[in-house]
Structure 1
Amino acid sequence: MIKGRFKQCRLSLAVVAVVAGMQAQAAEDSDTTPQLNAVVVTGTRSENRTVLESMQPIQVVSSKTLQSTGSNELSEALSRLIPSLNFPRPASSGFTGIIRPVQMRGLSPDQVLVLVNGKRRHTSAFLNTNVTQGRGSAPVDLGAIPLSAIDHIEVLGDGASARYGSDAIAGVINVILKKDDEGGQVTTSYGQYSKGDGIQRHVDADTGFKLGERGSAHLSFDGNNNDFTNRAGPDNRNPGAPGYGSTTYRLGDPDITNGKVMLNAEYALSDDLTAYGFAGYNKSTGDTWDAFRNGRASTFDRAAHPEGYLPRLHAETQDQSLVMGLRGLLADWKWDASVDYGRNEIDLSSRDTLNRYLYRDTGNAQQNFDDGSLTSSLAVYQLDFSNELAVPLLSNPLSVAFGLEYQHQTYQESSGEANSYYGTGAEGFSGLKPGDSGSYRRDVVAQYIDLETNLTDKWRASVALRHDDYNDFGGATTGSFSSRYDFNPVVAVRGSVSTGYRAPSLAQQHYSATTSALNTSINAYQDQLTASVDSPIARLLGAEDLKAEKSRNISLGLVLQPTDDFSATLDVYQININDRVTLSSNLNVQTAAGQAYLAANGIATDLYQSVRYFTNAVDTQTRGVDLTGQHRYRFDNGGRLNSTVGYSYSKTRVTDIKDNPTALAQSGLNLDRIDRRDRYGVLTDSTPRSKLSFSTDYSKDNWGLHANLVRYGSFLAVSNTGAAYDQRFDAKWVLDLSTSYRYTDWLFTVGGDNVTDAYPDKRNSLNNPGHQNVNYISYSPFGMNGAFYYLKATYSW
């Protein structure tokens, strides 16, 4: 399965072995030192477990390491440091370019659970319906968390539904906030791309302070202002049309401005009772652009905008979170009671555009429209207990944890102004209609138990069981078994088997909207209806009530720690997922048969060319391997070198596609619910299967040097037209470099990301007919902007 890919893996192991073979003195700890002995809280209910003692693969990334990447975006920084994570940067893909997801092991962004201080984080209200990675998902917006608030991040690379519930199929990202009660820092940075655009301005600050004699708090703020980039080619579609031969499109990163604040605090009410809480707020505005209309597609375009126009999609996001809790000790039992609330609201609007039907019928050439809003919220009430008990027949204490959880989830879709959805609506994004709007909610009740013990001095095991009951589709029971055996202090093996699930989100069940998109196969714009699964038109085309995704995870790992300064881990895994929730194909209803079929059932189709809906049509299997190596070295001259190597390989294949449902099969329309692009592309090959990274930090006296080299594997763009139109994009190497100098309380940094100025391959003309201005594809794992250079200054106290 992975044999052909182990050449890169052997190279990684060779590099690790060379580093390990160095004769080193004992290294001193520093903020960028690999976290060899960091205590972790993710994936276990026991205390004082370190990274290398874990029964499951876990990586820890410190705040300083995140900042060393030069990125001010959490998802991007993590993806550069952890090979199993992917951060696609879609461009000209609607609102997806503003709220960008992160993937783990090539799976969907909503199959990764995000925690903050161990508490479930709410998801974004935005649903990705574009042909990009994460299509059909509504993931957590990691960009709403200030980088300056983060102490470290724990990334668990294993299924964890039996401990945390829904979504933890690929793994868990646990963000641990700073809690220091003194000190702080202020950072400002400025950078831009070598092409001269995409200027990024950033400022952040954080500080800790005491709350009387028994409490502490830490306050953090981040502010960003990022200009757009543009890598579009010349518009050569229509000779003689407005803009012909010039750059009419905008293909690149969006224009984004945001401000984020977070507070983390706790107060000891007594020796056995502590109150704690943390809260965050993010306000963000972003602009991305749809395809340029040159006036040839419609006589109304030509009349209202004779020089053509470029629709701009504008989103204003507000993200709020609040967690409050009490934890204490009662009769030797530790307990934790908490209330967790999060809310995400996105106001959508279209600007510099046109509603063709409105102009045709009324002569109104309105350019700016309020398109409506999307809102989601999550409230979690949780009560946890834990203790270590002496149990007959066990030579070591049994760690027992159990708890109860209640969740209340909501999703709301609010319509835009009437002119935004009149007819087919504004070009780029039609306003949400009154028929699309609605408010939905559901409740979840869960119970869990988690047992862990050392069966012998060398053998440790853990069992977890959880049941979640949803009032809209039923229950899910999941379990896990993990174990580890230490042959000696140097070598250990570990493994786990688990079942998991992901409940379909309220957005996937109820989202409805009409969008205008370019079909590059025919070089024409088409209006697409994304219909809720319970709508009449979706039911006529085969939509059914959504079920929960079910997963089975198996992993086996090897842990090596020959010295205190060197460690390596190797983990192989398999993830089978049944009933994956995905968008159907764009079902063409503009054929004569399609129009007749729907008309006979009382539905007019003159306002859209195709219809799609969410469905449980696909089963997949993912197999892969993760390799990590870390080493610390101290030179005789006092210099310190911290090095890491990481390799990740994952391959996803579709194992089963369900037959067309009865309604679609009997419609006589000869349509496939899942098309070729989804079968072999978006779900399987749009993300690189392999990723190799080398990172090193050298420090001596006041100087520091950082280098990060990443090889992103090849990926495939699949066309619905046929295999001849598919395109394989080559693997690329990306190098980041920076140097820093500390002067008293100041730290000055000069750096460059992608200093090799790597770009993804350009799209070939066969796969991009008549549309060469969109010359790069949105699947690229490192973007399409080229080299980026920056200056940074930090003052600490």
Structure 2
Amino acid sequence: MSCKHHHANPHRAVLILSLIATLAPTAALAQETPSPAPAAQDVQTIVVTGTRSLNRRTLDSESPVDVIGNKELLSTGSGELATVLSRLLPSMNFPRPSGADASDAVRPAQLRGLSPDQTLVLVNGKRRHTSAVVNVNGTLGRGSAPVDLNAIPLAAIERIEVLRDGAAAQYGSDAIAGVVNIILKRGAKGGEAEVVYGQYDAGDGEQGTVRGSAGFNLGQDGWVRIAVEAAERNATNRSFADPRPSAGPRQGLITQRYGDPDSRPRTLFVNSEVRINDDIDWYAFASYGERDTSSAATFRTAFTDNNRTTLRSPLYPEGFQPLLGSTSVDASIVTGLRGVAAGWRWDASLNHGRNRFTLDVNDTVNYSLGAASPTSFYAGELTSTQSLANLDVAREIPVSFMSGPLTVALGLEARHESYEIGAGEAGSYFGSGAQGYSGFRPENAGENSRNNKSVYLNLEGDITSALSGALALRHERYSDFGSTNSAKASARYAFTPTFALRGTASNGFRAPSLAQSFYTITTTNTLLVNGASALVETGTFPVGSAAARALGAQPLKAEKARNLSIGAQWQPTRNWTTTVDLYRIDIDDRIVFSSNLQLANAPALSRALAAQGVFVGAARYFTNAVDTRTKGVDVVSTYRLNFAQGARADLTLAYNHNDNEVQGVAASPAVLSGQGLSLVDRQSINRLTVGSPKDKLGLTGDFTQGAWNGRAVVTRYGEFTVPQNDPALDQNYDPQWVLDLAASVRLNQWRLTAGIDNVTNRYPAQVTSRANLNVNGTQPYSVWAPNGFNGRYFYVKAGYTW
């Protein structure tokens, strides 16, 4: 079920429509000289992801590959890459957590309902480094530390290729759900600049973005392309008033924040290439970005109970809401040489990336310091680093029994990863710690690293004019948990020129991230205690620590995956293409967060931790505890209608149905079961199976005539469930339909756009008040909602190309 938010502002809609009407006469003048009709375009595209062949098209590939162009990436009102992909890809889910600590600043995206870190992200075919942030609270993707997609600006991207298939044998760890390959803009010719402004119907969340890209010559045989993007995204607030007497003098007033954070991203991307001679090219691409974010923690009321008897802090007599101020600094550089020698194509590269995440807690107190407490604390920092050296060679070798050459590709790769925790100031973790986010302690601090070496072989080619196939083999050795082998076989058979079947079978893996092995922090979390929500000091301990071992933790091992898929491709005409792909993904030893092990009723464990100087109300750690099976189907159908005078309409239907099941759960260690605790509780298990939408349908119509373009997108988000340990507290959410509309006009080199996302102002159902899950009405919407809970969004764009 769905409902509309109580805020409404129709005047902005009138302003948007007025702007379109104002532009209409100008557009009519632009059409007085008719534009030539565009030539018919083939819907097939050359792809580079999942293949090392030179001329593999989307319809020739043995695995499904989605190609998303720059026009589609800029077709929504959002400037966040993860948000845009979730609207364009039915198999991708991107909820918007709030009140989830650092996860508010670095929000994870899911492919096929799997963990965010089970999707590999490449840039120009090179592995992208991961974020330093671990998603540790009650969000989807809990326990993951994936790539921060939103650190990559839309201005830098030419297209994105999404391989919806297991590819660990081709690319290594993390490629279980699929691969997202981001291709940067190239060349010295042309450029573009765009200004975007938008605001939500509720009157908040104002956003402004400036982006641009331009190319320049580097001597006579080279080019460099620079892309910049800067944005100001103000917070949204969908909190309701706090009715409790303990809220203090502001009882019944909205004094809290619950919604998107304030965000200030600034990003620079550079892509370049120089021809050294006829056989060798040098290339390099680099990025640097900073994103300042201010997100809200749970509000602390003025009094400890509803009888107004005890003042919580003399510094905030009306209560306070801690704000988490973070800065994410993301930097990377890739450089290499590629060329041809003795008939072999070769590519040798060096790749270095780093993400540093620093955290301050503002508008807060440390209760243990009383009236002398500062109101701001430096809580520490996290740093994730990756360095990689890679050599690829490939060539086409004629084979007598094949209709085409055999592409042979070999590769070597060496990777070094490190993860570092830096301690915060003493006041941030002393005693009760800073409210909202207790800082990293000196005993938490330190740097850990590992090395990995791999060798791989790929074979692919056309066996007959109708049958093609590919084989990939990979061996990897990690310094921390040993060796692993992966293989993938795929084939495609064209029964007719318009119909083919394709299929793949592979095994893969995902190495436990260093963050999962070594992340440690103590924070204040909202947990269900004796049937009601309460704030509990919760410790997250690395598996090798004495605290985690006392709770039964074991060293982490790699996740093991088995992927099967079969698909059909049908292209009855040049302008109509349909693909249907069935898949199954089995994952053993899946790494998840343990339950929040509440220690109030486990005195033996409390004493064991206290003997180590650890005093928390709950504890957790990472564990290989669950075996899962994911089954689903992807359907993509595109059709182009050509009309008179060059007009055309592009219609797309995209659908994903996804079902996750738990096949097995590891037994709880005796130290836990003996105290009545479970290693993995019902909520943790069901979060994997029912927390993301079961299906998602997208219907897109894009119409172009002369200088005008109109776009309509209807998205149906399927049902999902927010589970609890008590089944009676589960909340089921019905499917939700969302309509997005946009219109644009091109005036010579200018392009003006006006649009409305979520035209009908749809909101998810409100969170139930049972067991105070809505925190006294102050958190009325679920952070698992796939389309968020901000409501209708208006935006305008002005772009200039040259």
| TM-score (norm. length: structure 2) | 0.93
Whole-Å Cα distance in 2 between the matches of residues 60 and 275 of structure 1?
26
Q: Which residue of 2 aligns with 1:557?
A: 567
- Cα pair 1:40 1:50 within 8 Å, conserved: yes
Q: Which residue of 1 aligns with 2:321?
A: 310
Whole-Å Cα distance in 1 between the matches of residues 507 and 267 of structure 2?
36
Whole-Å Cα distance in 1 between the matches of residues 246 and 619 of structure 2?
33
Q: Which residue of 2 aligns with 1:196?
A: 203
Q: Cα distance 1:336–1:592, how it changes in 2: closer, same or farther (>3 A)?
A: closer
Q: Mapping of 1:212-231 within 5 angstroms?
A: 212-231=219-238
Amino acid at match of 1:156: L
Whole-Å Cα distance in 1 between the matches of residues 403 and 151 of structure 2?
46
Pair 1:425 & 2:446 matched:
no
Whole-Å Cα distance in 1 between the matches of residues 231 and 39 of structure 2?
31
Whole-Å Cα distance in 2 between the matches of residues 578 and 296 of structure 1?
48
Amino acid at match of 1:115: L
Report Cα offsets for 1:578-632 as digits up to 9, x if no partner.
0111100011122362456416x82345x31000000001110000000001111
**1:267 Cα deviation after fit:** 0.6
Q: Which residue of 2 aligns with 1:232?
A: 239
Q: Which residue of 2 aligns with 1:794?
A: 799
Q: Cα distance 1:307–1:254, how it changes in 2: closer, same or farther (>3 A)?
A: same
SS in 2 for 1:65: helix
Amino acid at match of 2:475: H
SS in 2 for 1:487: strand
Whole-Å Cα distance in 2 between the matches of residues 289 and 768 of structure 1?
19
- Cα pair 1:539 1:663 within 8 Å, conserved: no
**1:27 Cα deviation after fit:** 8.7
Q: 1:528 aligns with which of 532, 535, 538?
A: 538
- Cα pair 2:589 2:627 within 8 Å, conserved: yes
Pair 1:674 & 2:677 matched:
no
- Cα pair 1:27 1:632 within 8 Å, conserved: no
Amino acid at match of 1:154: E
Whole-Å Cα distance in 2 between the matches of residues 253 and 492 of structure 1?
45
Q: 2:721 aligns with which of 710, 716, 721?
A: 716
Amino acid at match of 1:253: D
Q: Mapping of 1:270-419 within 5 angstroms?
A: 270-297=277-304, 299=310, 301-359=312-370, 363-419=371-427
SS in 2 for 1:679: helix
Whole-Å Cα distance in 2 between the matches of residues 353 and 612 of structure 1?
25
SS in 1 for 2:566: strand
- Cα pair 2:532 2:771 within 8 Å, conserved: no
Whole-Å Cα distance in 2 between the matches of residues 104 and 586 of structure 1?
26
Q: Which residue of 2 aligns with 1:684?
A: 689
Q: Which residue of 1 aligns with 2:25?
A: none
Whole-Å Cα distance in 2 between the matches of residues 279 and 568 of structure 1?
37
Pair 1:467 & 2:475 matched:
yes
Amino acid at match of 1:589: L
Q: 1:104 aligns with which of 99, 111, 116?
A: 111
Report Cα offsets for 1:700-721 as digits up to 9, x if no partner.
111110111100011101112x
**1:358 Cα deviation after fit:** 2.2
Whole-Å Cα distance in 1 between the matches of residues 606 and 499 of structure 2?
69
List runs of 5+ in structure 1 lacking aligned partners. Answer: 1-25
Pair 1:602 & 2:611 matched:
yes
**1:301 Cα deviation after fit:** 2.0
Whole-Å Cα distance in 2 between the matches of residues 659 and 304 of structure 1?
47
Pair 1:695 & 2:700 matched:
yes
Whole-Å Cα distance in 2 between the matches of residues 688 and 157 of structure 1?
18
Whole-Å Cα distance in 2 between the matches of residues 478 and 240 of structure 1?
57
SS in 2 for 1:68: coil
Whole-Å Cα distance in 2 between the matches of residues 376 and 395 of structure 1?
47
The alignment-based identity, stated in percent, is 43
Q: Mapping of 1:430-509 within 5 angstroms?
A: 430-509=438-517
SS in 1 for 2:314: helix
Report Cα offsets for 1:314-373 as digits up to 9, x if no partner.
1101100100000011100111000011000001110001111122xxx41211000000
Whole-Å Cα distance in 2 between the matches of residues 438 and 164 of structure 1?
30
Q: Which residue of 1 aligns with 2:32?
A: none
- Cα pair 2:69 2:159 within 8 Å, conserved: yes
Whole-Å Cα distance in 2 between the matches of residues 29 and 217 of structure 1?
30
SS in 2 for 1:95: helix
Q: Which residue of 1 aligns with 2:592?
A: 582
- Cα pair 2:81 2:150 within 8 Å, conserved: yes
Whole-Å Cα distance in 2 between the matches of residues 608 and 238 of structure 1?
28
- Cα pair 1:406 1:446 within 8 Å, conserved: yes
**1:767 Cα deviation after fit:** 5.0
Report Cα offsets for 1:531-572 as digits up to 9, x if no partner.
111111110111110000000000000000011111000000
**1:212 Cα deviation after fit:** 1.7
Pair 1:567 & 2:577 matched:
yes
Report Cα offsets for 1:425-449 as digits up to 9, x if no partner.
1011000000100101100000000
Amino acid at match of 1:678: S
- Cα pair 2:264 2:291 within 8 Å, conserved: yes
Amino acid at match of 2:691: S
**1:238 Cα deviation after fit:** 3.4
Report Cα offsets for 1:26-67 as digits up to 9, x if no partner.
99469xx8x821100000111111111110011000001110
Whole-Å Cα distance in 2 between the matches of residues 445 and 592 of structure 1?
44
Report Cα offsets for 1:454-488 as digits up to 9, x if no partner.
11110001000001100001011000000000011
Amino acid at match of 1:540: A
Q: Cα distance 1:139–1:272, how it changes in 2: closer, same or farther (>3 A)?
A: same
Q: Mapping of 1:739-758 within 5 angstroms?
A: 739-758=743-762
**1:396 Cα deviation after fit:** 2.8
Whole-Å Cα distance in 2 between the matches of residues 240 and 61 of structure 1?
49
**1:258 Cα deviation after fit:** 1.0
Report Cα offsets for 1:357-409 as digits up to 9, x if no partner.
122xxx41211000000000101100000011123543432110011000000
- Cα pair 1:405 1:447 within 8 Å, conserved: yes
Pair 1:733 & 2:737 matched:
yes
**1:638 Cα deviation after fit:** 2.6
SS in 2 for 1:40: coil
Whole-Å Cα distance in 1 between the matches of residues 730 and 175 of structure 2?
32
Whole-Å Cα distance in 2 between the matches of residues 142 and 591 of structure 1?
41
Q: Cα distance 1:204–1:592, how it changes in 2: closer, same or farther (>3 A)?
A: closer
Pair 1:638 & 2:638 matched:
no
RMSD: 1.6
| TM-score (norm. length: structure 1) | 0.93
Amino acid at match of 1:497: A
Whole-Å Cα distance in 2 between the matches of residues 119 and 461 of structure 1?
24
- Cα pair 1:277 1:324 within 8 Å, conserved: yes
SS in 2 for 1:759: strand
Whole-Å Cα distance in 2 between the matches of residues 205 and 467 of structure 1?
42
Amino acid at match of 2:702: D
Q: Which residue of 2 aligns with 1:20?
A: none
Q: Which residue of 2 aligns with 1:658?
A: 666
List runs of 5+ in structure 2 lacking aligned partners. Answer: 1-35
Amino acid at match of 1:756: T
Whole-Å Cα distance in 1 between the matches of residues 592 and 252 of structure 2?
38
- Cα pair 1:595 1:604 within 8 Å, conserved: no
SS in 2 for 1:384: strand
Whole-Å Cα distance in 2 between the matches of residues 440 and 596 of structure 1?
28
Q: Which residue of 2 aligns with 1:7?
A: none
**1:240 Cα deviation after fit:** 6.6
Pair 1:544 & 2:554 matched:
yes
